[in-house]
């Protein structure tokens, strides 16, 4: 019996090479709302799925420079203008002494800022994912699971099922709104 309101379809592969080849075929077939759930990163999967490079490394670099500027600026202001102290006749603006704090400020700004921006950017993901706890996919253990969402413009349950089976996917099943799987 076919579910009345499907959320999508999933099927799994046992080898990473099979998953990589399937991702390229799904992309070439014109599917837009699909994803692969894998137990470990697969080199080349982003290209096979047609995803563009992330902008987050650029943001992390800018935030690291901001952290360096903040760390050096604050230390220079405090040690030279606000509260100059004489430590064994050394100059007030002794940059080698500023390196540890500058490094820590750089890491703090880059890490925290990138994490916050990644969370904000991740909320705009347009591909609905399968219900996480309702369906046991095996993706975190030993399977490479292909998920095609019912929001895809090309969506047709019968065609999607036939397409996944033609790729060699095992355990192909439709997932309804409640998270129940139907073969």
- Which pLDDT belongs to residue 96? 86
Q: Give yes or no: residues 117 and 133 share one domain.
A: no
Asked whether residue 133 carries a pLDDT value surpassing 70, the answer given is no
Token pair of 119 as six digits:
């969370």
Q: State whether 74 and 46 are in the same domain.
A: no
- Among candidate residues 122, 144, 174, the one where a domain is terminated: 122
Query: Among residues 1, 4, 7, which one has the least CA distance to residue 179?
Result: 7
- 169 found inside a domain: yes
3-state secondary structure of 9: strand
62 pLDDT more than 90: yes
Domain boundary among 122, 147, 170: 122
Residues 139 and 173 in one domain: yes
**Biggest CA-to-CA distance, the chain:** 86
Segment 81-104, tens digit of pLDDT = 888 887 777 787 888 888 999 999
Question: How many domains does the chain divide into?
Answer: 2
In a domain, 1, yes or no: no
Beta bridge partners of 182: 174
102: domain range? 56-122
CB 176 within 8 A of CB 182: yes
Q: Domain check: are 132 and 48 in the same one?
A: yes
Last residue of a domain, one of 105, 122, 139: 122
Verify that 147 and 100 share a domain, yes or no.
no
Q: Specify whether 104 is located in the same domain as 15.
A: no
pTM of the model as a whole: 0.66
Q: In what order do the strands lie in the sheet with 181-182?
A: 34-37, 144-149, 6-13, 170-176, 181-182
């Amino acid at each position: 019996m076919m579910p009345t309101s499907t959320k999508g379809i999933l099927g799994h592969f046992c080898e990473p090479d099979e998953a990589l080849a399937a991702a390229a075929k799904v992309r070439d077939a014109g599917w837009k709302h699909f994803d692969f759930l894998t137990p470990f990163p697969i080199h080349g999967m982003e290209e096979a799925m047609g995803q563009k490079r992330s902008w987050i490394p650029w943001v992390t670099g800018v935030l690291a420079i901001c952290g360096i500027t903040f760390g050096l600026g604050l230390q220079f202001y405090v040690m030279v203008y606000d509260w100059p102290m004489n430590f064994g006749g050394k100059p007030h603006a002794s940059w080698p002494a500023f390196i540890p704090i500058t490094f820590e400020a750089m890491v703090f700004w880059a890490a925290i800022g990138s994490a916050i921006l990644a969370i904000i950017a991740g909320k705009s993901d347009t591909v609905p994912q399968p219900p996480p706890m309702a369906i046991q996919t095996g993706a975190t253990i030993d399977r490479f699971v292909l998920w095609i969402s019912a929001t895809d413009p090309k969506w047709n349950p019968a065609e999607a099922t036939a397409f996944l089976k033609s790729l060699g996917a095992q355990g192909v099943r439709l997932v309804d709104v409640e998270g129940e799987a139907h073969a």
